[in-house]
Structure 1
Amino acid sequence: MILTLTKEEVINRLKSVQDYICNQLETLDGKAKFHEDNWVREEGGGGRTRILSEGEIIEKGGVNFSAVHGPVSEVMKKQLGLDGNSFLATGVSIVIHPRNPFHPIMHMNVRYFEMDTGVYWFGGGIDMTPHYIDFEKAQNFHKDLKKTCDRYHVDFYPKFKTWADEYFYIPHREETRGVGGIFYDKLTEKEGVSKEQLLDFAIDLGELFPKVYADQINADRNPRFTEVNEDWRNLRRGRYVEFNLVHDRGTKFGLKTGGRIESILMSLPKNASWFYDFKAESGSKEEETLNWLKKDVDWLNGSKNSI
């Protein structure tokens, strides 16, 4: 493969995405500001971890940038199945945990990986985990994802939507983590899109994140909630923790390869709960949400009566 983009170009554009997202989220929240923690990796590279907490909207949120490089360890070779001696991995990852139970958790990750052999790929995606699923809000979220995907390849949205359904699934619960979104990995120019366009796609997804999150929040910035709603929010956060610690490949890879623990676990909420043998009340909003937590929901063309 002929590399036309320099590593510095990729790194600098992803850094700019982190700046843009943080500025937009601070404006959306209207109260809290990000705290930046710069860190250095002994083997090479480092990153900027930015955390916002106790905001008006966001209880805890993180927007991480990292660019790490160095020799390929035996663990990495086993995990990635690659030949080569050194690597570069850079990207931006975000998780937002809101205060209000009627506002959703949202996650995004865009990343680039390159070996000294010239092999490279892009990965990433955006997915949404509402505590209470509102079909119209989920539909609008998926419409915006499709619109961005369609600018690059007509197959991106259906392919990446299915990939997200499969990836963001909790097998031991037999439920999806939320309403899905898009997810892709090891994407190269073999998909019929140039390397430059794949970087543009990653940047567009990054800049889309604060827009789609703001749409969810601004539909109703201050919905009323009860203690019952808070308990349900914390139970759903517990499911989120289960997925991230048990099934998420990025989290497991970071923990197995000596990644920075504080940055890896910034995805976890401030508080979460596990209730023994919880059963949702028949006809409740909680039961309705559980009924939506399945693969292959057609969020674009379905209706709120589909379940």
Structure 2
Amino acid sequence: MKAFIGLVAPLALLGCATSNAQTTTDAAQSVEQQVAQVVAPMVETSTRPASYLAAPEPLQKWVDGRAGTGAPVHWIAEGGVYEYPSGKKMFGMIGFDSSTVIWPEEEGGEIIHLTRKTFAYTDPDTGEVLTEYNGNKVAPIAYPYQMITYRLENDRIYGDVEQGVGDKVRIIKADEGIPFEKVGDTYVYNAAVFLDIDLPTGGKYEAWENYDFFFHPEGSLEEPHQMAWQRYGALPSWAGGQPGIVRLLSWRVESHDQFPEEILKWAKESQPNWLKPPASVEEVRTLQKGEGGPGWGD
């Protein structure tokens, strides 16, 4: 406990200087709480796999912030879709992803992030989830899974994304990586994605997406994990297919109880299987074979 004396001694001395017994008791309890706050993270870290303990801090912070430490975490998103170049708001948008992480036991093994994500378009005025627009059916954007493998090279985070089903399973290799910097005590990670994918139809899927993640020190804010996302590209065919801008603000929550009420209601009614991430790589492999399983949806 010698390492903690400098942190708790002033509180202990302050408690002993008063003649009020209750104040002394309260101070002692405060000392215990301070010690617990310092000890708990160290105990948790000491039980982490060797691969985690050997990872550089920027990689630890990225994976911990984005995917949690094992228990499922959820990223809530709210924003809008704008016509380009007029800037007119066409739709609102809500959604979330559910994530977990698998750190390998051995150093140098693959760090695997398992996630599902789903988003819905909403009426720009009422906020009601859209199921129809100008006579066209509107379905949520829904990924039954994404499996992301992380590594740190040349001061950048690389995440190769595996997704799809059947003969459409593909791996999107991270060629550029995610640069990061510290602004004060905050880690800022920037992921700019330039998509140029050949489609089975012979066409192309082209878009630009930009993610800015802000991971503040634990305890500094009520929710220290935040993200801003923008996308420029063609809108869905049901919306006209013209160029558009999507902008979302996102933050992490630790349980369903912390979801905004309207998003949780929509999720429970329409996308209940997305409220948890894939349980394992084996589940992902089942989904890839087109055999369904938890999270595949209706």
Pick the structure with greater CA Rg. 2
TM-score, length basis structure 2:
0.29
Question: TM-score by structure 1 length?
Answer: 0.28
More helix by share: 1
**As a proportion of its length, which structure holds more strand?**
2
